[in-house]
Chains A and B, each alone.
Chain A
Amino acid sequence: MWLPRVVEAVRGSDRPVALVGGEPFGVPFVIEALRQHGPLAWFEVDPWGDQVSHGNALARAVNAELPAPLLSLALPYRAHLAALSRYRSDLRPLRFAVTTSDLDQAILADLLDLHGNGYSVVLDVRGDPTDGDGLLRRCLVLDEDFLRVRREEAAAIVPGGLGPEAAERLWRASGGRFTELAAVAHQAAGLPRLHLPSPAGPLLPESAAELVDVRQAVYAFMREGDPISALELAVLKAPELVEDLLKHAGPRFQSEGLLARLHVLLSALPESHSHTERVLEWRLMAAWAANDYQEVLADVDAYLAAHVAPSLRARRAGSLPREEGFAMAEQAVKARRTPLTLWQYGRLHPNPEKAAELLRESVRLAEEQGSAYEVARNASTLATQLLHMGEYARAASWARWALDVVDREQVQDGSRRLIIINQLAVARIMTGDLVGLRAVLEDAQALVEGSVPGLAVIFRSTLGLLELAEGRPEEALGLFSATYHASHRRNRARYGYQLVRALLELGRLDEARRVADDVWEVSTAGEGHERKLAALARGMVGAVAGDAAAPDDLLEAMLATELVADQRLTAVLYYLLATGGAAHNVPRDLVPVLSGLNRVGLSVLSGPARDFERVWATLSVARAPLAFRFLGGFDCRFHGEDVQLPPRLAEAALALVLHPEGITRDELNDFLVSDGNPPFTSGGMRSLVTRLRQLLPVSDAPYRFTVPVEADVLLVRELIRSSRVREAVNLMRGPLLPQSDAPGVVDLRWQVEEELRQAVLLAGDPDAVYDLAERLGDDLEFWQAAAAALSTGDPRLALARARVRRLEQSYGLS
């Protein structure tokens, strides 16, 4: 039998397979038949395609095979390959099939790299392409000779009613080409016309193709939800339709990241159809995205000289320097208040408070009369504005809401989604809400690193902030350093001050000074804000080193309203360090922001703690003199100084922390020594307590600390009791004293973990559930809870469902 023979050859290969024979030799039928043997993501590589259009095709094909969408559109295919590689254990088995007539497309070689370990690749090679990169040498090639229908296989293809003689005759006439044989056999048997499978749905054989009036085809594409094809066809043969089509096609090109292609299409329009208002608007946007806009600017300006054109005017405003752009945006919004004009006006408004107010209004207007894309765009810009103002909690709220809109309404623009994720992450770090952030940021960074350089820089920077927030300065240094050393001269100051921050945290003052000096030198010819950031970097080093000039540098930076809030706040904190607390010089707009920062925000913006404890103490609630960390490791600070305790004393300290009223010798013995082991002798217990008392203030028996104490384990339990599960998960950095097997520790470890587990399951907070599910590994109940808690459109939903499926299979439950 022809089909099983070919399908088995594909399935039996441990190498990628190239089917070279195309439609005539029945390759589409082979690929379609592979679906019966597991999930199959089949897509076609566009002949004009760029990395993003290839990414869109790949994303659509993969998402169609998953229980929920995982990959967003508008991202280069390499971002998706990174995600597929990262989530392989949950997504496999998965077969990729690619139809192409151009073996030079880079996506093919990259996709072949993915082959193996649960993924397999099939190339459907059409025509007679050159194989410059030797792609086919990496594949098992099944060529026309192999794909040809053998005489004995023909009878199974030809309907039985025609008889063996007819089968023989048709087989000879077809030359063994499956599609031709099947088509004529269908026709001879009076069966419905043969349809060929394809990634875009069933096709007629080439010989049965139909000629269609172009306008009819354009409208049909629109009805079928494909305005992108409709517009291309209209540009080629019905340009008079373009103005109207752009209403739907323009936003689609934009949200799918295809503005470069739109630029080609609209540049090809005859002049008679390229100077209308909507066409000019999209020509401007597409040309701007393609960085080829000089010509269109002249056309736009000529049009605006004679027309009000609010939308076009608002778009043009965005391409001008800020002051000029603001004046034009104001004209646009006065002419007509729309989600677009109001958004642009708010975005460019010089007064931060007013800008936020306008942007909030633009969100409301977008909800009333705009698209989901406009709602998300406007809300995301509002979040950015609030971040710049240091209104982190409000920024988090708007970013979270914008993300919900993107996911719920399935706004396809993956780049915008990532930008919102980053905004939300920064806002959450600054407010100390770190639950689940690491996974989100690491996933995003893996996606964009090496594929979307602009976003990779942003995510590296935000991940660096998270590392600082979680007390991992070495990791922060690695991230900041990578960005700094790869940066353009004009961005040196921007990234240099972050690098200085990490170096200071690690006590590497000389290196920090060298970076600050370099930044100062290369930024001297730069614009104002570069100079001010360079002053910030130099001032930070000076503040820690005690340089007399440091306050001046820092004053310059903190007064610079063109810098964003976190940069100015850093300047303020180092200024307070350098001046011994000259709080009267702190700019008035930063005072409420500064006093609203919690410990996490403060430790991200300034450090190291040994230098800043006094500054922080003046800004936040006083801390207990004795502070312990027992979760995920052990730290002890007494009056701000690190105290080193050996493991046994750390266990004893935990016992005392749990008994503020005091613990007897017997109770302490029971806490430390398991049944069956010899108990402490009276002298041994006294010695243990004496050693602890030499380091920390401990009373006589019953033993207790004689100063107020704070400990993370106590706080976690308090948070659980008051149903503040996000904060509890956030604080639960790891097991209680992970190395300890003292019975009291082991019991409490289990108890705290179970309390948290139950609280998180009960609360159903998606971030908290997903975070804990990842930490717990293969806990089916948690992955089921995550799948139930996550909203449609959130890519984590696809992964949670895939993990549930895998775990149910491995536990024999499905």
Chain B
Amino acid sequence: MERAEALARLQRTTRFQFVGDRVVVRNVALLNSIAAAQRVEEENGVAASSAEVGVAPLRLAAA
């Protein structure tokens, strides 16, 4: 399968939505998991800055 065809098919059928380089997440369990992981990282002093990897409220206007 040609890459362009596969990519088009994937983009047409994926359930993921993106705003810039970030993915839109509504699943509560997933968000909790991310928050828990961040807490652990912060406690261990290895957290990347929230600007890089954190969670931000969705501002659709920014899309």
A67 CB, nearest partner CB in chain B, Å: 25
Further contacts, 18 of them, CB under 8 A, given A203-B26, A212-B34: A200-B27, A208-B26, A208-B57, A208-B58, A210-B56, A211-B22, A212-B22, A212-B25, A213-B21, A213-B22, A213-B54, A214-B21, A216-B38, A217-B25, A219-B37, A220-B30, A237-B21, A268-B10
Which of A220, A221, A233, A265 has the most chain B CB atoms inside 10 A of its CB? A220
Tell me the bound Cα distance from A201 to B27 in angstroms: 7
B28 within 8 A of A: yes
Q: Are B31 and A263 in contact (CB under 8 A)?
A: no
Q: A216-B37, A217-B25, A264-B1 are in contact. Are A237 and B53 (CB under 8 A)?
A: no
Interface contact B37-A201, CB-CB below 8 Å: no
Residues of B within 8 A of A212 (CB): 22-25, 31, 34, 55-56
Chain A window 250-288, contacts with chain B (Cβ cutoff 8 Å), 1 for yes, 0 for no: 000000000000011101111100000000000000010
Q: Nearest A residue to B58 by beta-carbon distance? A: A209
- B59 neighbours in A (Cβ, 8 Å): 211
Also in contact, A204 and B31, with CB within 8 A (given A210-B56, A214-B23): yes
A210 to B18, CA, bound (A): 11
Residue of B nearest to A292 (CB): B1
Per a CB cutoff under 8 Å, which of B7, B26, B33, B58 touches A220?
B33
CB-defined A-B contacts under 8 Å, sample of 6: A47-B14, A209-B26, A211-B58, A213-B54, A214-B22, A271-B3
| Residues of A bordering B, CB below 8 Å | 46-48, 195, 200-206, 208-217, 219-221, 223-224, 232-233, 235-237, 263-265, 267-271, 287, 290, 292, 295
B10: which A residues are within 8 A, CB to CB? 232, 235-236, 264-265, 268
Find chain B residues with CB under 8 A from A237 CB.
18, 21, 23
CB atoms of B24 and A211 under 8 A apart: yes
Complex contact A216–B53 (CB within 8 A):
yes
Whether B6 sits at the interface, judged by CB under 8 Å, is: yes
Contact of B30 among A47, A48, A217 (CB under 8 A): A217
A215 partner, pick from B18, B20, B53, beta carbons under 8 A: B53
**How many angstroms between the C-alpha atoms of A195 and B5 in the bound complex?**
37
Quick check: B16 and A236 within 8 Å, CB to CB?
A: yes
Q: How far is B3's CA from A208's CA once the two chains are assembled, in angstroms?
A: 35
Determine the chain B residues whose CB is within 8 A of the CB of A206 once the complex forms. 26
Contact of B34 among A46, A217, A271, A295 (CB under 8 A): A217
Report Cα–Cα, A235/B21, bound state, in Å: 13
In the bound complex, CA of A287 to CA of B1 (Å):
9
CA gap between A219 and B53 in the complex, in Å: 12
Q: Which of A210, A220, A264 contacts B9 (CB 8 A)?
A: A264
Residue numbers in A under 8 Å from B18 (CB-CB): 214, 236-237
Indicate which residue in B21, B38, B57 contacts A210 across the interface (CB closer than 8 Å).
Answer: B57
From the candidates B6, B7, B55, name the one contacting A211 in the complex (CB within 8 A): B55
Closest residue on chain B to residue A204 by CB atoms: B26
Chain B residues with CB below 8 A from A200, complex form: 27
Which chain B residues (25-63) contact chain A, with CB distance < 8 Å?
25-31, 33-34, 37-38, 52-59
CA–CA, A188 and B26, complex, Å: 21
B25 / chain A contacts, CB cutoff of 8 Å: 209-212, 217
Q: Tell me whether B29 and A48 are in contact (CB under 8 A).
A: no
- CB pair A213–B53 under 8 Å, yes or no, is yes
Contact partner of A47 (CB less than 8 A), chosen from B15, B27, B33, is B15
Residue in A209, A265, A287 whose Cβ sees the most chain B Cβ within 10 Å: A209
B58 touches A210 (CB 8 A): yes
Bound CA span A292–B5, Å: 13
**Complex CA–CA separation, A224 to B20 (angstroms):** 24
Contacts of B23 in A (CB 8 A): 211-214, 217, 233, 237
User: A265: which B residues are within 8 A, CB to CB?
Assistant: 6, 10
Residue of B nearest to A201 (CB): B29
Q: Which residues of B contact A217 (CB under 8 A)?
A: 23, 25, 30, 34
Chain B residues whose CB sits within 8 angstroms of the CB of A47 once the complex forms: 13-15
Contacts A220-B37, A237-B23: A213 and B28 contacting too (C-beta < 8 A)?
no
